[in-house]
Structure 1
Amino acid sequence: MQSANMLLRKIVRSSVLPFAAQHGMKKDLFPLSRTLSLSLCLKQDKSREPSEKLDLDEWKKVMKSGLQEEVSETVSEPKELSGLAAARETLEMWRLAGRAVPENISEEELKTFMECPSKSAKKKYLKYLHLKELHKKNDKRKMREKRERRLEDQASKTDETKKNSFLCMWSSTMDKAYNWRAAQSMIFGQPLVFDMSYEKEMSLREVTNTVRQIVLSESCNRRSADPFHIHFCNFKDDSLYHREFVKQYREAWGRLLVTVTDQCYTELFPKDKLIYLTADSPKVMKTFDHDKIYIVGSMVDKSIKTGVSLARAKRLGLETAALPLEKYLLWSTGAKNLTLDQMMHILLTLKDTADWKKALEFVPKRKYCDFVNKPVKELKKTLDLINTLKLGKGREEGQKQFAKSYPKKYKLK
């Protein structure tokens, strides 16, 4: 039987295949399965023709490039893993040596630790994380003690019915009222823009501080009588800003009553209505304009980089303004930069009262001596006292600085 099958195959190969190659396939000559098998055989025979030759040099190049890509992919991951492992070993050694090192550290914090340029910078960063961890533990301990005291007070009190003429206002009711105001501001409120395009200008720690200040600003705005309609412009998904906001708000981030967009504010509003608030502006803000749209740069710079927001406003061709701090305050020391939540308090107070003295009360008192509207003799006494306590021999320089700031109105004798 096997010999008969072998003989049949030889006959088909010697007679049928040359006929099919010359005259093509016939429908009635073979069944469908046979035609498929013959077509496969023909394709195999055609692929073996000597006219088509394989280029060995090209094949070697392709194989080598593929191997190099696979090797680079497999080597890059162990390098990162080895760097993280080495950083963890360094942390363990420093912890055993008695240095200020946090007990728990995330991968992002480890990468930031590895990116520190010097050993002293790494020590400072670890000390910051250690103190942050201690503060969290202390807060948790205080909350636990407070909860225990509250439970003890509730257990010690009797079940006497309390009578009070005042209505009980729950915090959830107040939150609903605040959210209703914020929802109304998104339709009828004056826009206030936070420029979120300064991520490259800051470190991870500075971005974290910026987001915390914006969270405080949003909370202050939501609790005000006439809140702003807050816009986060130039906001990119999966950016450092976005990650920190999700950390701060958690599930509430999706329910936040603000406008978040990746568009620039020049695309959303007309340029003639935009005013960029920056401390470096040569133009001083005189009054609060309810028809204008104010822009605040979302940046916290520990090194105080001057002119960054002013340069951005000039590139976009926008009007700029600075707060009149020297006009109303006798400035003492330090830069005239304020935090974002302080700016929010000042703008809300100006919007409600139009009173600069009330608004500038939110400026930290360590930065100025007093308000300018007091008598000159009192200002002179205050300035002399500060010079004797802080400057010592630099009393004359302080007086010169006072005369330079207020040459027309006041004279020191």
Structure 2
Amino acid sequence: MTRLINSLMKSWTNSIVRNNGIKRDLHIMAVSCKDQQQKQNPTPQLYENARQFKEVTVNQFQMLFKTSPKCKGQIEEILNLYELEKYTTQQVPSILSVNDMKRLLSTYDDEKELRKMIKFFYTRECDKFNTHKKKFYKKQEILEKKREKYGENDEWEQGVFNRQGHIVYGLWHNSLISRITKQAIRDYRNNHISRQTCLFGQKLIVDLDYDQYMKPSEIGLLAKQISIMYYENRVNRDYPESLPYDVHFTNCRVGENTVNELSRHLKRMDDLKQYYFHPESYLSRPDLFPKNKLIYLSPHAKLSLKQYDHDDIFILGGYNDRSSHRQVSHVKAQSEGIRCYRLPLDENVLWKQGDKNLCLNQVAAILHAVKATGDWQVAIRKFAPQRKVRSLEEQHLEDQIRMKTIAKRLRRMERSYKFIQ
């Protein structure tokens, strides 16, 4: 039955692609056949065939084309491309949300970028599905190991009642001693560190004034880098003896793509907007950010930051550029009259491959390591990408090869000098 359905689907999809038309009945029939197979097998394994497509229509995006009627035609063309990719490559998400459609509409003019965005939604959905699948099977393995170890004895279980419904007294059950979880200890530690950071921590600014220079895919990567930087700075696991940075975000205007994308990654963004997300520039807040202490970090700056000052306020440009590599942050710092420096990469390590533009979270980690240790070389080797920096062994081998070539050259010069005499 399944072979017959697959052969029919292949033949029908080929005819549909030739005629440049899409029929959603194929997809509905395939899903219904999967449901019938699952009904025949009453005990299917969870997460094996959980990814099923849902029907997507134009009426689901009425709020987008109510104001502009042209948007409706664009949405129809995007859905036609979505259906075509579904039946040819199947590398599409199971459903498109309103936010996803907004991002697709922003890349409507470029068909290549539109296909990339649809594929990105597919990989994002697969990553979420795989993480949930791993968590589920890990829980099942832990339960099986505990059952093998304890058998029918339910002392390892936690709760007020046992399997028979009787009240259980003891630790992790009905007891005067309450359970203190790891999450509660972690929250208490993080809240204590955040209070100390607000009072005595060194300020770090992330400038979000580069929306017009980035594509939607680059904005998504930037938001992910900022979320990683914010989490690592808050946890402060590498150097707990040093306070983390007091991170502030400037030029956070309402409706900007970076701010909207960042709100998806930072869960507590609405609670922190009043104190850490500033809609104005850092120059308009001299009470918080004095201009004489501001330092803009840019990879295109001429001067390198050799000495770290704990009183300075560093500014990181929220700019992710993978194609044109424009010197936007350097030009902005010069126009505003702010000191601009780059990280001392060439002075401390040998570069192996790739450009010297590091991610936002990597720059923040290097700065925090230098603040705690004062050693630029150790910080860069630890947090810079390992594929880009030469290791100590490679550097030692290159020095040996260089010394051998110099020795050979000196011997040739001695021989030629003796021959001349």
Q: Partner of 2:397 in structure 1?
A: 378
Pairing partner for 1:363 from 384, 388, 395:
384
Q: TM-score, structure 1 length as denominator?
A: 0.67
Q: Which segments of 5 or more consecutive residues in structure 1 lack a partner in the other structure?
A: 1-73, 385-413
Deviation track 1:273-314 (CA, whole Å, cap 9, x = no partner) reads 111011100001111101111111111111152311000001
Pairing partner for 1:289 from 285, 294, 309:
309
Q: Partner of 2:281 in structure 1?
A: 264
Count of paired positions: 305
Aligned equivalents of 1:220 and 1:383: distance in 2? 40
Aligned equivalents of 1:355 and 1:75: distance in 2? 58
Aligned equivalents of 2:149 and 2:261: distance in 1? 43
Q: Shift in Å at residue 376 of structure 1? A: 7.2
Q: Which has the higher helix share?
A: 1
Which stretch of structure 1 is more off in the superposition, 306-315 or 258-267? 258-267
Q: Partner of 2:14 in structure 1?
A: none
Q: 1:202 to 1:229 in 2, by over 3 A?
A: same
Deviation track 1:42-79 (CA, whole Å, cap 9, x = no partner) reads xxxxxxxxxxxxxxxxxxxxxxxxxxxxxxxx996443
Aligned equivalents of 2:395 and 2:356: distance in 1? 23
The one-letter amino acid of 1:130's match is Y
Aligned equivalents of 1:240 and 1:313: distance in 2? 23
Q: 1:382 to 1:302 in 2, by over 3 A?
A: farther
Q: Partner of 2:51 in structure 1?
A: none
Q: Partner of 1:48 in structure 2?
A: none
Deviation track 1:74-119 (CA, whole Å, cap 9, x = no partner) reads 9964432232123212321332234532221223333433434443
Q: Partner of 2:351 in structure 1?
A: 331
Q: 1:172 to 1:327 in 2, by over 3 A?
A: same
| Higher gyration radius (CA) | 1
Is the 1:369–1:383 contact (alpha carbons within 8 Å) kept by the matching residues of 2? no
Pairing partner for 2:270 from 254, 264, 280:
254
- Tell me, what secondary structure is at the counterpart of 1:365? coil
Q: 1:152 to 1:75 in 2, by over 3 A?
A: closer
Aligned equivalents of 1:178 and 1:197: distance in 2? 29
Q: 1:82 to 1:280 in 2, by over 3 A?
A: same
Is the 1:370–1:379 contact (alpha carbons within 8 Å) kept by the matching residues of 2? no
Q: Partner of 1:16 in structure 2?
A: none
Pairing partner for 1:87 from 65, 78, 86:
78
Is the 2:117–2:217 contact (alpha carbons within 8 Å) kept by the matching residues of 1? no
- Tell me, what secondary structure is at the counterpart of 1:276? strand
Aligned equivalents of 1:75 and 1:231: distance in 2? 37
Q: Partner of 1:201 in structure 2?
A: 213
Aligned equivalents of 2:399 and 2:368: distance in 1? 32
Aligned equivalents of 2:137 and 2:284: distance in 1? 52
Q: Partner of 2:230 in structure 1?
A: 218
Aligned equivalents of 1:169 and 1:383: distance in 2? 57
The one-letter amino acid of 1:93's match is L
Q: 1:192 to 1:149 in 2, by over 3 A?
A: same
- Tell me, what secondary structure is at the counterpart of 2:363? helix
The one-letter amino acid of 2:281's match is C
Q: 1:375 to 1:196 in 2, by over 3 A?
A: closer
- Tell me, what secondary structure is at the counterpart of 1:230? strand
Pairing partner for 1:120 from 112, 128, 134:
112
Q: 1:77 to 1:322 in 2, by over 3 A?
A: closer
Is the 2:252–2:278 contact (alpha carbons within 8 Å) kept by the matching residues of 1? yes
- Tell me, what secondary structure is at the counterpart of 1:296? strand
Aligned equivalents of 1:219 and 1:183: distance in 2? 16
Is the 1:198–1:299 contact (alpha carbons within 8 Å) kept by the matching residues of 2? yes
The one-letter amino acid of 2:283's match is T
Aligned equivalents of 1:321 and 1:281: distance in 2? 5
Is the 2:198–2:246 contact (alpha carbons within 8 Å) kept by the matching residues of 1? yes
Counterparts of 1:8-27 in structure 2, within 5 Å, are none
Aligned equivalents of 1:312 and 1:202: distance in 2? 16
Q: Shift in Å at residue 176 of structure 1? A: 1.6
Q: Partner of 2:20 in structure 1?
A: none
1:237 and 2:237 aligned: no
Aligned equivalents of 1:80 and 1:383: distance in 2? 63
Is the 2:197–2:244 contact (alpha carbons within 8 Å) kept by the matching residues of 1? yes
Aligned equivalents of 2:248 and 2:71: distance in 1? 38
Q: Shift in Å at residue 351 of structure 1? A: 0.8
Same amino acid, percent of matched pairs:
27
The one-letter amino acid of 1:193's match is I
The one-letter amino acid of 1:209's match is L
Is the 2:91–2:119 contact (alpha carbons within 8 Å) kept by the matching residues of 1? yes
- Tell me, what secondary structure is at the counterpart of 2:353? coil
Is the 2:74–2:108 contact (alpha carbons within 8 Å) kept by the matching residues of 1? no
Counterparts of 1:134-149 in structure 2, within 5 Å, are 134-149=126-141
Counterparts of 1:71-82 in structure 2, within 5 Å, are 77-82=68-73
Q: TM-score, structure 2 length as denominator?
A: 0.66
